[in-house]
């Protein structure tokens, strides 16, 4: 005991630390009830063919408006959901709602080209139940699994690469699409990448944002595209805000994009009006 005690480091507790913890707890509590009461919503951002500007799919992005906290960004509440064991429940709601929305559009006579992409957190990807949740929601709303595509981050895959590889095989067998999100920000090994049954790489927003001003970022983007082409993977650039980025991306061989230049993530009705 004495030996253990000497190894303990001094921990300074400042008042602001207490406030941060209290704020997080409050957000977590409210988020838990928002999930249970289905108070989240989905927005949809178009994905386009860079040459023609035609719609090739959309990404579903989770939104939360809380009475007390106002709009909370997913950049804030998704990590909290991950840390506090709520991400699987949240993710299952997203899957169900995405399928419900596709069915509603179909029933209204709107055709959505391509696939609807859903973000899947690493913890969801490690759950055996993921496949069942996806297939259940699909059959419940009469949606083909091939109408969906899953986005998992590069770092999410590297959490447990062997398990991720096995999961992708199963999902691919069921016809779902699979993209590696935020590519370039993690540390994936090319050996894993080759075994991972993805069909698309999403070039991270940070490289796309700086590719016109930074030689490094331009070279990284070009290298990712060349590597993807070699491995037979499609590429899509996230965060396109200017025409010049499109010109540069096309010259490098990337033909798909997403970003404010085309449209922001939109509520379902606005998405239908503008894109379907
Ligand atoms: P992500 O999947 O990489 O999504 C792209 C983010 O970039 C979205 O932020 C989108 O609104 C934003 N974006 C799109 N185009 C542009 C642009 O031209 N410029 C700029 N500056 N930003 C652009 P959002 O909606 O705030 O989501 C942030 C992250 O939260 C997502 O990153 C994703 O990792 C996570 N997320 C969102 N919804 C879900 C969900 O349903 N499940 C899970 N697990 N994660 C989600
Ligand atoms: Mg994404
Ligand atoms: Mg991304
Ligand atoms: Mg991101």
What does the alpha-carbon distance between residue 94 and residue 116 come to, in Å, rounded to a whole number? 12
95 CB within 6 A, ligand 1: no
Please give the backbone phi and psi of residue 33, each rounded to the nearest 5 degrees, phi first: -75, -30
241 CB within 6 A, ligand 1: yes
Atom of ligand 1 nearest to the CA of 82: 44
The CA 9 to ligand 1 mean position distance, Å, reads 38
184 CB within 6 A, ligand 1: no
Amino acid 195: pLDDT: 84
Contacts 24+ apart (CB under 8 A), 248-252: 248/211, 248/212, 248/218, 248/221, 249/50, 249/208, 249/221, 249/225, 250/50, 250/51, 252/221, 252/222, 252/225, 252/226
Give the pLDDT of the chain (276 residues) as one tens digit per residue.
454 555 566 778 888 888 888 888 999 999 999 999 999 999 999 999 999 999 999 999 999 999 999 999 999 999 999 999 999 999 999 999 999 999 999 999 999 999 999 999 999 999 989 999 999 999 999 999 999 999 999 888 888 889 999 999 999 999 999 999 999 888 777 778 888 889 999 999 999 999 999 999 999 999 999 999 999 999 999 999 999 999 999 999 999 999 999 999 999 999 999 999
Amino acid 186: pLDDT: 81
The CA 117 to ligand 2 mean position distance, Å, reads 8
- Helix ranges (H only) for 86-177 are 87-107, 122-125, 129-141, 154-159, 161-173
Mutate to test the pocket of ligand 1, among 61, 180, 202 (most ligand atoms within 8 A of CB): 61
- Tell me the whole-structure pTM to 2 decimals: 0.94
């Amino acid at each position: 005991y004495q030996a253990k005690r000497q190894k303990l480091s001094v921990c300074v507790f400042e008042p602001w630390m207490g406030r941060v913890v209290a704020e997080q707890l409050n957000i977590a509590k409210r988020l838990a009830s928002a999930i249970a009461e289905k108070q989240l919503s989905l927005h949809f951002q178009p994905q386009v063919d860079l040459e023609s500007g035609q719609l090739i799919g959309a990404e579903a992005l989770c939104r939360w408006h809380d009475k007390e906290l106002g709009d909370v960004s997913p950049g804030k509440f998704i990590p909290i959901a991950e840390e506090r064991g709520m991400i699987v429940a949240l993710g299952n709601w997203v899957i169900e709602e995405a399928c419900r929305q596709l069915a509603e559009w179909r029933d209204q006579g709107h055709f959505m080209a391509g696939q609807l992409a859903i973000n899947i957190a690493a913890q969801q990807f490690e759950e055996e139940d993921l496949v069942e949740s996806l297939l259940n929601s699909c059959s419940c709303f009469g949606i083909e699994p091939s109408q969906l595509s899953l986005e998992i981050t590069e770092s999410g895959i590297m959490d447990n690469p062997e398990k991720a590889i096995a999961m992708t095989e199963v999902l691919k067998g069921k016809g779902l699409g699979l993209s590696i999100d935020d590519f370039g920000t993690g540390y994936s090994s090319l050996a894993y990448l080759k075994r991972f049954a993805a069909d698309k790489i999403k070039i991270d927003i940070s490289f796309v944002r700086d590719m016109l001003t930074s030689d490094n970022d331009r070279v990284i983007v070009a290298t990712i595209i060349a590597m993807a082409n070699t491995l037979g993977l499609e590429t899509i650039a996230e965060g396109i805000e200017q025409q010049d980025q499109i010109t540069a991306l096309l010259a490098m061989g990337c033909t798909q994009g997403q970003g404010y230049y085309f449209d922001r993530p939109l509520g379902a009705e606005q998405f239908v009006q503008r894109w379907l």
